Structure 1
Amino acid sequence: MQNAVKAVSARVKDGQLEVVFSTGMRSLWPISSLQFAKRINGVLTNFYPSEEELVEVEVWPSGEVIEFPRVDQAFQVSALMRGEVGNAEWTRSLTVSVA
């Protein structure tokens, strides 16, 4: 699958995760919408990383994962594109009802 679209770069700017794809397309996700979680005493707990912790953003060589190494958190690009920015409960909590 040589011509597959993949992420080639990522950065956090102005409170948003910006991902640039091999096609030149860019997508943005508000950092506040992404679920950052870690296990504390066996319990998955949400946390809110600081700007300094989000400065370092890496795209895995496959172009399929965006990683924040300072907080040991990674997101699959395909999941982000489907609107899956965390677990099901987290994602439901972001749903806005439109009348």
Structure 2
Amino acid sequence: MMENVIAIPDNFAVEEAAEYRKKIYKLIEDGERSFIFDFSKCNFIDSTGLGVLVGIYKRCNEANGKFTIRHINNPQVLKVFQLTRLDKVFNII
């Protein structure tokens, strides 16, 4: 099973998040099951971005896939995951 590495943009908010949702849902529909979300360039995430990640996470789980987040380098972005307790839900490496 190949893992798809998805680079998250600098600003993961409303417009970018909607685009990513469409792209990832299409990959899941096409049979992809394993995703690594690379946050190394991300400096901002809002509730829409988090919502998109939760939706993708649920779909991955339903398909017995793998959902991993890596390289959260920005302390503010990490804090958002911690405040929402999503750091306890997602596999963050």
Report the TM range for the smaller structure's normalisation: under 0.3
The one of the two structures with greater contact order (alpha-carbon pairs below 8 A, sep at least 6) is 2
Q: Which has the higher strand share?
A: 1
TM-score, scaled relative to structure 1: 0.23
The structure with more radius of gyration: 1
Q: Which has the higher helix share?
A: 2
